[in-house]
Structure 1
Amino acid sequence: MKFIELKTEIPGPNAKRLLERRYEHVPKGPFNTALTFVEKGSGALLTDVDGNTFIDFAGAIGTINAGHCPKEVVGALKAQLDKYLHTSFHVMMYEPYIALAEKLNEITPGDHSKKTFFLNSGAEAVENAVKIARKYTNRKGIISFERGYHGRTYMAMSLTSKVKPYKYGFGPFATDTYKMPYPYYYRKPEGLTNDELDDLILAKFEDFFLSEVPADDVAAVIMEPVQGEGGFVVPSVRFVQGVKTICEKYDILFIADEVQTGFARTGKMFAMEHFGVVPDIITLSKSIAAGVPISAVTGRAKIMDAPNIGEIGGTYGGSPLGCVAALQVIELLEKDQLCERAEAIGQQIAERFEKLQSTIPQIGEIRSLGAMTAIEFVTDSQTKTPNKELVGSIVQEVNKRGVVILGAGLYSNVLRFLCPLVITDEQLQEGLTVIEEVIVELVNEKGV
């Protein structure tokens, strides 16, 4: 291996000591995929406290599209540290906040007048998008989709679909939230075409407005253009445009949750560009600032101005560090053509496992939009029974062999790829080799 370097078992002795402290002082609730601790990161590589170097295919759950510690971002942060750390935008304003708002208003889909404000996390962006939609429309209802994921705070969790681990035992949830089906073509009913499935789901909207809640009481529909935690499920252009048409028919706002899909991950700066749909509001976070916590809500100016002074915001929202980091990330994504790079990464991953699929029937489907690529595993290709156990074993073994990767999916049977877009072809292929070897070993040698 040229990039992976394993000097100890995983976890190594230093990591084990830290794990003991973690278990004693940190609640068990926060999950950990790789049972070790980072010492430094660069590009697509991570080195832990025992000197082991990993190739990162998880990207901090899609947060590091621009790579670990890009020098432009680090430089901007160091310069900002010498000026001021925080004044709270609500007390004394600062120029980077305005500059980043201007930039997002410019590059997000649509040429209409927009406004942007900033928060701390993706979930907080979703919460505020809902607040703004309700305030503007004077309606209560919010529709999300089955398998959708929007965060862990209460409104965001109410809009999220997967029960365990996100919702179990945490109810009651926010009222006036509803869920509609989202097309899952790999698992569509037998005999239906993709277009027929789209039409069936879209027709259910009209029935829903008759049977559950009137359309004139629905403020917004919130949609991930590609479902993230749901397993990287990609809808058709026909479906997304159909939902937008329904929203326009009933004066319902369309909110695009681009927290995981944004900032070049799918081969476009924002995934909605693939579908020819301009959202009324868009939520952004994760890869916006190379790991510095910040999120954004961008929307039509008249909608964003619906809340009165003091009705939206937060003490740390749009921190100066997050703003200067985000401005550098956007410049880097554009300068280094990382949208095009995302397309190349996704193609390499898909081609590699399409070849393997012919000999490994447990590979049910390979899905990809740009570098947002996933493999769904089943027990066999006929029943398509989800193979959660195999994916769990793959993730554990791959991490032990020097590649950090994550699972996903409603059934936890999907392997998802979120490597930094600055990963080199050599690093990518080395990581894919490890994953392929583990899959073949587990399937053929252990019969998983």
Structure 2
Amino acid sequence: MFGELMTLRSRYVRGAGQGHWSFMFGEIAAYAFVVLVLTGAFLMGFYEPTMRRTVYDGTYPTLRGVGMSGAYASTLNLSFDVRGGLLVRQIHHWAAVIFVAAVLLQLFRMFFTAAFRRPRGLNWLIWVGLLALGMAAGVTGTVLPDDQLSGGSLSLIQGIVQSIPVVGTYLTLWLFGGDVPGDRIIPRLYEAHLVIGVLVLALLVLRHRLLRRQGHTRFAGGRPRTLDRRSRLVAAGALFSAVCGVLALLGSLAQINPVWLYGPFEPGSITAGAVPGWYMGFLDGGLRIMPNWEPNVFGHPLSLAVLIPGLVLPGAFFTLLAAYPMIERRVTGDIRPHDLLDRPRDRATRTAIGAAGVTLYGLLWAAASNDQIATHFHLSLNAITIFFRFAVIAGPAVAFTVTRRLCLGLRQRERDEAEHGVETGLIRQLPGGGFEELIRPPRKAIDRAP
């Protein structure tokens, strides 16, 4: 059944002029957001964004009689005393994970196929903004239960804000409302979470309008077909049903964020093995491997060990990501509008740059588990940390070089096949007694520039 669904959806994609399964990532992100809105509206009816102290007297026996915030108590009641509450909570959490993953994959597709070129530069910025907002929504949403695990994220936010020169202390006092954790951070993050959702909705609506006005991109050689309105609606409904079905299965069978196991947040404590969401792993990895640099500037300590990986690194990442189309346009001088997509191998330098960026992200993500690697493989934590410090510098350079050579090699192979044919590995004997290999003519000539 799922195979038939994907076949129907692939036909719709081709009929819309897209022609490749990777074009479904954008719609998966939109449908996951719809699930987020529906489940979030349900959760809003039972969650209390307050840090007022209370004593839990709900169904979960382990924490009965324990003092905690109203936010944590309402999360426990939502999980154990509201019919379907735990299922909706878990679907909401999984939908957030799928949303960020789909946005990231959509950016990968657009980057490696050059779907960001004119006239779709604004579309690229929309997806970059959706990635940033999705990460921010994930962080704020994770903190809202006010459990011991979310307290680790809260402490990280505090440290990053305090590392900002000159104004860091004032921003911390304003954000937390006085002493950390204060009594305002949960309500403010709750409001921020809702505002982020509205911004995501606005960007998705803008993206839809741009898509209707500009049309779809396609690969060279594609033959777009047009489906009637009913067929398009059926195919879109089928994909939406598939996304909802997968999220329902994950919410039912795969436990995620069991806040009752962590207990209420207590300042100064943290859960062992606590790590952020996978999409924020690069931030945690950078914090773990950054050397402890704290120079004094005009008599004031500057915490570069937190400032660089916590603010400078993500800021530089999103700035370069947003500005890349303009940078490439300036370097190549290509200002023409494009509807045809590139194959990654046809643009070796761009593909190599993307591979280097993915490698850097992957290494920082892996560095976020340096303690787990050291524990499970019985290695020195210091040795693992030092390895990642060198790897994040050398790894992207190696990935760039290898990827570029692979792309150039594939292009050269295609040229050779276009000129001489495709080697089949079959040998035949000639009438005169000699031998020759059977050469199959190429399917089509390759005439794209490297």
**Fold conserved between structures, TM > 0.5:** no
Bigger relative contact order (CA 8 A; separation at least 6): 1
TM-score (norm 2): 0.27
Structure that is richer in helix per residue: 2
- Give the structure with the higher percent strand: 1
> Taking structure 1 as the reference length, what is the TM-score of the superposition?
0.27
